[in-house]
Amino acid sequence: MSKKKAVTIFFAVISSLLLISGCSGSDDVSGSDGKTIEFMHLWPEGSSKQHNEIVQDIVADFEAENPDVKVKLEVMSNEQYKDKIKVLSTSNELPDVGMTWAAGYLEPYVEGEKFAPLDDVLEGDLKDSFVSGIPEAYAIDGSTYGLPLELNVASIFYNKKIFEENGLEVPKTYEEFQDVVKTLSENGVAPIALGNKDRWTGSLWYMYFADRIGGGDALTNAISGSGSFKDPALVSAAEEVQNMVDMDAFVKGFNGLSDEEAKSMFMNEQAAMYLIATWDLPNYTTNEDVLQEFRDSVGYFPFPTVDGKGDMSSYVGGPGVGLFVAEDSDVKEEAKEFVSFFVQEWGKKSVTEAGVIPATKVDAASLDLPKMYVDVLDDLNNASNITLFADVQMSADVAQVHLDMIQSLFGKEVTPEEFAEKHEAALSK
């Protein structure tokens, strides 16, 4: 009897071992001779419906034109995406095509030889189709490793209705801007919605002060090492941030609010102004889910000059996500073709269908576009300078210090001098 039991147990163990070993191996079953491009993007249907649909369309068109190539999609939300890409690259299993951010984010991937250079694609079909200077943000040591899809610049959006009720006009100078803030807070209206839990949101304010006080290059130079964060202009930019906090310019508890929460305060008319980049344009123009009445009452103005200095046509912004092709992809040629196709189609479709500004040139005259959208495009065409988002310029570890410092600066836990010193210390490491 016991012997019989022992035998059954033995087989149970063996079969469970087989089960475990069965987990590995035998998972590459991709069609017989057709090729499959794996494509991972970060626009889920729930939160970015229009983006998601455009991707589906483009993929369908591409498959129709290239019958022997299939595109396999994987979609994730922003933060999840960043984590997953990292894990995949650690285990050398990057998708053939995926999304990346520029400059500092890109660096470790390029150094680790995970992304393929795309110079041939850029020089081929795509020549001259990008807004000038934009693909450069994806270049390292003279090669381009990503093709940008979006172009963003930040402006201050404001609620015309609230401005009217309080007898206010669009400010051109920092003094006028301060008056606007004062009047609003005296009348019991929260002046500016800011969700600084996400930290890059506060960074936008600091960057604009740095740009207006120190000129377009001050911050970029400090980050690249040819300048310094101890530059008086950059220190006084940090001071101005704290002055704004002292004036109660931002909504209460901004350091604990996410950007989403701040946005909803602006969109529920609980705050009069909101500094955000153009990726939010659809909310104020074409998005049917937002009340028409509210969309009509939103205007925007460029960041005002400080002491009459700084060029109002100088912007903080830069490309958003771009596409990369994995270096060890089995279908590199097809992937490159797909990327090229995608960028061109995206340039056409994203304008009219999603209302975002693509990194490729837009012919505004030939399309029927909302006025605010056309205005922003005009601004972009006349921009004297676009300073790339600070946290994107920096390498990841320095960016973390910068973002933490931004939160402390707004929370008045550090002085502007300490703020500068911490940056210098992080950069010199």
Partner 1 sequence: MDKVMSNKWIIGLYILPAFLLISIFIFIPLLLSGYYGLMDWDGIGAMKYIGMENYFNAIQDGLFWESALHSFLLALFSTVSLIAYLAISLVLASKIKGSNLLRKIYLIPMLLSSVAIAQLWIKVFHPSNGILNSMLALVGVENPPAWLAEPTVVLYAIFIPILWQYAGFYILIYYAALKNIPESIVEAARIDGATPLQIAYRIKLPLIMGVVKVTIVLAVVGSLKYFDLIYVMTGGGPNGASEVMASYMYKLAFSSNDFGYGSAIGFLLLLITLIVTVIIRKVTASKEELQY
Q: Considering the complex, what minimum distance in angstroms separates the CB of residue 258 from partner 1?
A: 8
Q: Which is nearer to partner 1, 145 or 303 (CB)?
A: 145
| Contact mark string toward partner 1, 259..298, x via CB under 8 A | --x---x----x----------------------------
* Least spacing, CB of residue 339 vs partner 1, in Å: 20
Q: Nearest distance from residue 24's CB to partner 1, in Å?
A: 10
Is residue 183 a contact point for partner 1 (CB under 8 A)? no
Contact string (CB under 8 A) for partner 1, positions 191-210, x = contact: -----xx-x-----------
Instruction: Name the nearest CA neighbour of 273 among 203, 168, 382.
Output: 168
Nearer Cβ to partner 1 (105/209): 105
Indicate whether 11 belongs to the interface with partner 1 (CB under 8 A): no
HEC states along the chain?
Answer: CHHHHHHHHHHHHHHHHHHHHHCCCCCCCCCCCCEEEEEEECCCCCCCHHHHHHHHHHHHHHHHHCCCEEEEEEECCHHHHHHHHHHHHHCCCCCCEEEECCHHHHHHHHHCCCECCCHHHHHCCCCCCECCCCHHHHEECCEECCEECEEEEEEEEEEHHHHHHCCCCCCCEHHHHHHHHHHHHHCCCEEEECCCCCCHHHHHHHHHHHHHHHCCCHHHHHHHCCCCCCCHHHHHHHHHHHHHHHCCCECCCHHHCCHHHHHHHHHCCCEEEEEEEHHHHHHHCCCCCCCHHHHHCEEEECCCEECCECCCCEEEEEECCEEEEECCCCCHHHHHHHHHHHHHHHHHHHHHHHCCCECECCCHHHCCCCHHHHHHHHHHHCCCEEEECHHHHCCHHHHHHHHHHHHHHHCCCCCHHHHHHHHHHHHHC
Phi, psi of 343 (to 5 degrees): -60, -45
Interaction between residue 256 and partner 1 (CB under 8 A): yes
Q: 382: how many CB neighbours lie within 10 A of its CB?
A: 8
Residue 221 in the binding site for partner 1 (CB under 8 A): no
Nearer to partner 1, 105 or 130 (CB): 105
Among 60, 291, 367, 396, binds partner 1 (CB under 8 A): 396
- How far, in whole angstroms, is CA 1 from its chain's centroid? 69
Question: Per CB under 8 A, does 126 bind partner 1?
Answer: no
User: Residue 349 interacts with partner 1 (CB under 8 A)?
Assistant: no
* Contact flag: residue 243 with partner 1 (CB under 8 A): no
Alpha-carbon torsion 28, 31, 34, 40, what sign? negative
CB of 234 to partner 1, least distance (A): 19
CB environment 142-175: b (16+ within 10 A), e (fewer): eebbbbbbbbbbbbbbbbeebbeeeebebbebbe
Contact between 13 and partner 1 per CB under 8 A: yes
- Residue where the block lists tokens 């992809």: 329
**Shortest distance (Å) from residue 80 CB to partner 1:** 11
**Which position among 200, 254, 300, 419 is part of the footprint of partner 1 (CB under 8 A)?**
254
Tokens of 233: 């202009």
Binding partner 1 by CB under 8 A: which of 252, 292, 363, 366?
252
Only one residue has tokens 């931004």, namely 406
307 binds partner 1 (CB under 8 A): no
Is 190 a binder of partner 1 (CB under 8 A)? yes
Q: How far is the CB of 87 from partner 1 (least distance, A)?
A: 8
The residue within the footprint of partner 1, chosen from 34, 253, 291, 367 (CB under 8 A), is 253
Is residue 111 involved in binding partner 1 (CB under 8 A)?
A: yes
Smaller CB separation from partner 1, 305 or 407: 407
In the complex, least distance from residue 414 CB atom to partner 1, rounded to whole angstroms: 8
Comparison of 55 and 394: residue with beta carbon closer to partner 1: 394
Residue 418 is a binding residue for partner 1 (CB under 8 A): no
Does 100 contact partner 1 by CB under 8 A? Answer: no
Which string of x and - marks every residue 55-84 that binds partner 1 (by CB under 8 A)? ---------------------------xx-
| Residue 108 touching partner 1 (CB under 8 A) | yes
Output the smallest distance, CB 238 to partner 1, in A.
15
Least Å distance, CB 404 to partner 1, is: 5
Judged by the rule CB under 8 A, the positions of this chain that interact with partner 1 are 2, 5-6, 9-10, 13, 16-17, 20, 82-83, 86, 89-90, 108-109, 111-114, 190, 196-197, 199, 251-258, 261, 265, 270, 395-397, 400, 404-405, 407-408, 411, 413
